[in-house]
Structure 1
Amino acid sequence: MNFSQVEAFCAVADSGSVSEAARVLGCNRTKLSMAIKALEKDLVTDLFVRTGNNLELSEAGKAIYKDCENVLVTIERIRRTCTQVTGDYKTEVWIAHDDALPDDLWQNFTFELNNRFAAISFNVVLASSGDLSNLVEKGQVDFAFGVDYERVEDPRVRYQPLGKMRMMSVCRADHKLSKLQRVSDDVLRNAMQVSLAYLNEKNNPELQPFSLKYIGFSSFDYMLRTILTEGAWGVLPEPLIRQLLRSQELSVIKHTYGLTQEDYCMFTSAGMAEHPAMAWIADQISDYLFEF
């Protein structure tokens, strides 16, 4: 058993297809198939049940999948540790964040990072909350910040809560929902909702729309604009709408889940050492959220 074989096994298990796994890993399909067969021969057991072009984990495959995932995480941690010890630090850092916090706050963070860490180039991109952990897991970004809807154990991603984020079910102040003393599930389910959309292939129950009629957007800002202009309702983070609530342009819907709390997190790859620039951002966000 070697690293390439374990990597091939996990990739095929995740995608259910040798062709798709080869595309993800950027390698030859035949080479990948040979790695799986060599692993099965070494372990003297079939790891997949083959049905046409699809592959499903056998009972043995299911039993070892988690351990194989942990092996890959451990190897990646060893590589990163050695890189850090030799002083070969990244001079370019990719950061993803959602728009639960005001845009001007992130602009200030970016300018301050540039001043404090002049030797590092920062690329800051906006992403849906539901995609943040996946972007880190796939190595598309180095760090991510946002509302944590994942609620899953993933050995490849570390979740560091920075504070609580109040999420509010809101509508425009003149919407019929705002006039009701108590909004039932049935009434809310039949009202147009704007919900958060994401590209992550994993199913996330936390982000499933509540209403029968809905429009999905990748950002809270798009959701907010639609609520204000199209008479929909949606669940938005308090920092984004505090002023609109105070000016009575928005109202909190009087429903069982009208007010909820989620963790606002920093997402990093498992085994990655603390980065001074990201530690600075994490402290700033924690201080900001403490006010809420």
Structure 2
Amino acid sequence: MTLAQIHEFVLVCRHGSIAAAARALGKSRGAVSMGISALEDHLGVTLFERSGNQVKPTPVGADLLDDCQRIVSLSQSLEQRCRHHLQGEERMLRIARDDALPEAFWREIVIRLSRRFPNLDLCFGLSTMAELDAMIASGEVDLGIGLRRVSSKPSASETVVLSPVRVMMVVAAGHPLSLLQQVSEQDLRDYPCIGQAHFTPQGLRVTEAASARQVGVSHFELMRDMAAEGIGWTWLPQPLAADDLETGRLVILRHVAAVRMDEYVALKSRYYREGQVTDWLLAQVREYLRRCESA
């Protein structure tokens, strides 16, 4: 009994004809017929009832069909996984990323990844950039992706800069700061600054600390929504703020340093070897950020 014979059996059942199964396999009708006969001899049962050119499984043949289909599917999966390994495609990828880019972008990326690399074990987690270094170093994730201040200290992980990103000082339309023709440092200190909170060895801290009053939340989307509700002012990356700026829900403050350039980066362990999946993913992120910058 061979895998080829089992595959022939499955295809004859599926097509209802030895000739049609032979065409699907690119074999002669006689070769497939001989394979079925050899499988029947090995198993000691009759698998098909034959009537002219049409065949249908016997009761025992119908009973064996599901298991034979599983054997064929498993063998094809093994072959495909070996091909992908030889081509340099990762089998598993654990990613932690921040939410500096819209969730709609990441949903589309996960869908496309799943379809393009169907054998990939993929795990996406949400984290702040301030916590990614430790996650990479501990081996919790393979890849960290997020927005990083250009002035931040060098990462202990290997860093790949994907694109510069504009980050803007924004506030809700109608907020007192939005009415000023020129916003000073003192004006900023008079109103709460909404920053990104992250865990440190010393406890929970807020990344931005440019105001006497701070409100720390876990993610950029919460910072955006709280700013739009008039709670305070905040820094937001252009891809995440674009829609609210266009509709007028948020405005950029008239401050001398209201726009800065940060970097969107990928962090990886020095022991991590990227392959086709990582290359494809980072190329999609680069292209998306290029479109955002040119919009």
Q: Same fold (TM over 0.5)?
A: yes
- The answer to whether the 8 A contact 2:194-2:208 is kept is no
Mean Cα deviation higher: 140-149 or 85-94: 85-94
Alignment of 1:68-83 (within 5 A): none
Pick closer, same or farther for the CA change 1:284–1:174 going to 2, 3 Å: same
> In the alignment, residue 242 of structure 1 is paired with which amino acid?
A
Cα distance between partner residues in 2 of 1:275 and 1:88: 5
After TM superposition, the structure 1 = structure 2 runs for residues 110-189 of structure 1, keeping only pairs within 5 Å, are 110-149=110-149, 151-154=152-155, 156-189=156-189
What amino acid is aligned across from residue 172 of structure 2 in structure 1? R
Residue of structure 1 in register with 2:194 after alignment: 194
Task: Output one character per residue of 1:228-271: Cα deviation in whole Å (capped at 9) or x when no partner.
Answer: 22431100111111111111111101113210010100110013
| C-alpha distance in 2 between matches for 1:86 and 1:249 | 51
Which residue of the partner structure matches residue 227 of structure 2? 227
2:165 aligned partner, one-letter code: M
Q: Indicate the larger mover: 112-121 or 171-180.
A: 112-121
Q: Which residue of the partner structure matches residue 103 of structure 2?
A: 103
CA distance in 2, matches of 1:220, 1:267: 19
Q: Distance in 1 between the 2:127 and 2:188 partners?
A: 28
The C-alpha deviation readout for 1:187-242, integer Å capped at 9, x for no partner, is: 10121111011124499x99331111011111001111111224311001111111
- Matches of 2:200 and 2:114 in 1, distance apart? 30
Contact 1:165 1:237 in 2 (8 A): yes
* Helix, strand or coil at the partner of 2:198: coil
- Alpha carbons 2:89, 2:275 under 8 Å: kept: no
- 1:44-63 to 2 correspondence within 5 Å? none
TM-score w.r.t. the length of structure 1 is: 0.65
User: Offset of 1:86 from its aligned partner?
Assistant: 10
Instruction: Quote the Cα distance in structure 2 between the aligned partners of 1:153 and 1:202.
Output: 20
> Which string of whole-angstrom CA distances, capped at 9 and with x for unpartnered residues, describes residues 24-63 of structure 1?
xxxxxxxxxxxxxxxxxxxxxxxxxxxxxxxxxxxxxxxx
TM-score, reference length from structure 2: 0.65
Aligned to 2:13: none
RMSD: 2.6
- Give distance in 1, aligned partners of 2:132 and 2:191: 29
1:190, 1:212 within 8 Å by CA — same for their partners in 2? yes
Q: Helix, strand or coil: the match of 1:130?
A: helix
In 2: Cα distance, 1:188 partner to 1:126 partner: 30
Q: Does structure 1 retain, via aligned residues, the 8 Å contact 2:171–2:230? A: no
Distance 1:152 1:206, change over 3 A: farther
CA distance in structure 2 between the aligned counterparts of 1:125 and 1:218, rounded to whole angstroms: 14
Q: Secondary structure at the match of 1:267?
A: strand
User: Who wins on radius of gyration, i.e. which is larger?
Assistant: 2
C-alpha separation in 1, matches of 2:266 and 2:202: 19
CA shift for structure 1 position 89: 8.2
Q: What does residue 262 of structure 1 align with?
A: 262
Residue 87 of structure 1: how far off its partner (Å): 10
Corresponding letter in the other structure for 2:154: E
1:92 Cα deviation from its structure 2 partner: 2.7
Shift, 1:147, TM fit: 0.3
Alpha-carbon contact 1:194-1:215 (below 8 Å) kept: yes
Q: Which amino acid aligns with 2:93?
A: V
- Measured in 2, the distance between the counterparts of 1:143 and 1:188 equals 36
| Aligned length, in residue pairs | 206
Letter in 2 for 1:217: V
